[in-house]
Structure 1
Amino acid sequence: MTATNLDSDDVAVGRKRAVLLHCLGIEGQRIFQSLGDCPTYKDVVDKLESHFGPRKSVILERHRFRQRGQRPGESISSYFATLNKHAAKCNFGTLTDEMISDQLIEKTHTPRIRERLQMEPDTLTLHKATTLAEQIENALSDSHVIASDTMSLEPNPVKVKLE
Structure 2
Amino acid sequence: MAKFLPPKEFDFVPEKWLEWSSRWERYRVISKTDEEAEAYQVNCLLYTMGNDSESIMNSFTLNADDRKKYDKVKEAFDKYFSPRKYVIFERAKFFRRDQMPGETVEQYVRALNDIAGRCEFGDKRSEQMRDRIVVDILDTAVSREMQKMDVTALTEDVAINMARQAEQVDKNIKELSVNNRSAAADLLASSSCGTDRNFDGSIKDRKTAATDAVNARGRQKPNGGGKSKIRTAASSYDSSSKCKRCGYKTHTQDADEPSDDQLFLGAVEVGHCSKSWTKHVQVSGVKIPVRFKLDSGADVTIIPNQLCGNIAMTPSDRTLLEAGNSNIDVLGARQNAS
State the TM-score, normalizing by the size of structure 2. 0.36
Does residue 44 of the first structure (1) align with residue 73 of the second (2)? Answer: yes
Aligned to 1:64: 93
CA contact (8 A) 2:38 2:70 kept: no
Distance 2:91 2:143 in 1: 22
CA contact (8 A) 2:39 2:70 kept: no
Distance 2:89 2:205 in 1: 60
Deviations 1:70-110 (A, max 9, x none): 11111112212222222222221111111111111111122
CA contact (8 A) 1:70 1:107 kept: yes
Aligned to 1:138: 168
Instruction: Pick the structure with more strand per residue.
Output: 2
Larger Rg: 2
Aligned pair count?
145
State the TM-score, normalizing by the size of structure 1. 0.67
Supply the AA of the counterpart residue of 1:141: K
- Indicate how the Cα distance of structure 1 residues 86 and 10 shifts in structure 2: closer, same or farther if over 3 A, else same: same
Identify the structure with bigger relative contact order (alpha carbons < 8 Å, sequence gap 6+): 1
Aligned to 1:126: 156
Distance 2:78 2:127 in 1: 33
Supply the AA of the counterpart residue of 1:65: F
Q: CA deviation at 1:53?
A: 3.7
Aligned to 1:4: none
Which of residues 96, 109, 112 is equivalent to 1:83? 112
Structure 2 spans left out of the alignment, 5+ residues: 1-32, 44-53, 185-196, 199-203, 208-327, 332-338
Instruction: Pick the structure with more helix per residue.
Output: 1
CA contact (8 A) 1:113 1:136 kept: yes
- Indicate how the Cα distance of structure 1 residues 139 and 11 shifts in structure 2: closer, same or farther if over 3 A, else same: closer
Does residue 112 of the first structure (1) align with residue 141 of the second (2)? Answer: yes
Deviations 1:125-158 (A, max 9, x none): 11111111122222233334445637x8585753
Supply the AA of the counterpart residue of 1:81: R
Aligned to 1:103: 132
Structure 1 spans left out of the alignment, 5+ residues: 1-6, 17-22
CA RMSD of aligned residues (A): 3.7
Aligned to 2:329: 161
Distance 2:102 2:77 in 1: 43
Distance 1:145 1:24 in 2: 58
Identity of aligned residues (%): 26
Q: CA deviation at 1:66?
A: 1.7
